[in-house]
Amino acid sequence: EAKKSTLSIGDTYAGGIVFYLDGKGGGLVAAPSDQSTGIQWSSGYSDTGATATGIGRGKANTATIVSKLGAGNYAASLCANLTLGGFKDWFLPSKDELDLMYKNLKKQGLGSFGEGWLWSSSQDYYSLAFTQRFSNGVQYNTDKNNGYAVRAVRAF
């Protein structure tokens, strides 16, 4: 594993692949592979309040979604309950975090990403949440009942 002081985008570190560095020794990693190829954001519609889109907001969004929706098989829960690489603090990325994963990993041929849609943790409307298509980078607000891929992330 890379030393923290010399980390670069694309390095394997802290259980995943580095896709964001904050310039202060911290950052974000993506899980090495998808946690699901087709899972709902939520079953049915409700306003979760998880509307933040910025970098560093995915973790709080995920906690908010899980506290609102409770137990079940859905995108945020899948990430919140994940144990991978010895870490248990994974979350569903925010809209902007997902975009950085696309730009810094997928577009560089890193991370073994597919071409399809991935969920973010950013709700747009009570029935819609933001997704991103990894064939071309387009982001779109999508029906929460649709089944899309999930790639968990964690901060270090």
Q: Which residues pair with 155 in a beta bridge?
A: 28
CA distance 144 to 149: 12
Could you read off the pLDDT of 4-37 as tens digits, one per residue? 568 999 999 999 999 999 999 999 999 999 999 9
Could you read off the pLDDT of 72-92 as tens digits, one per residue? 999 999 999 999 999 999 999
C-alpha distances out from residue 156 to 28, 42, 100, 131, 144, Å: 6, 27, 16, 24, 29
* pTM over the 0.75 mark: yes
Residue closest to 153 by CA, chosen among 95, 70, 68: 95
Could you read off the pLDDT of 84-132 as tens digits, one per residue? 999 999 999 999 999 999 999 999 999 999 999 999 999 999 999 999 9
* Strand order across the 153-155 sheet: 12-13, 16-21, 27-30, 153-155
* Mean pLDDT score of the chain: 96
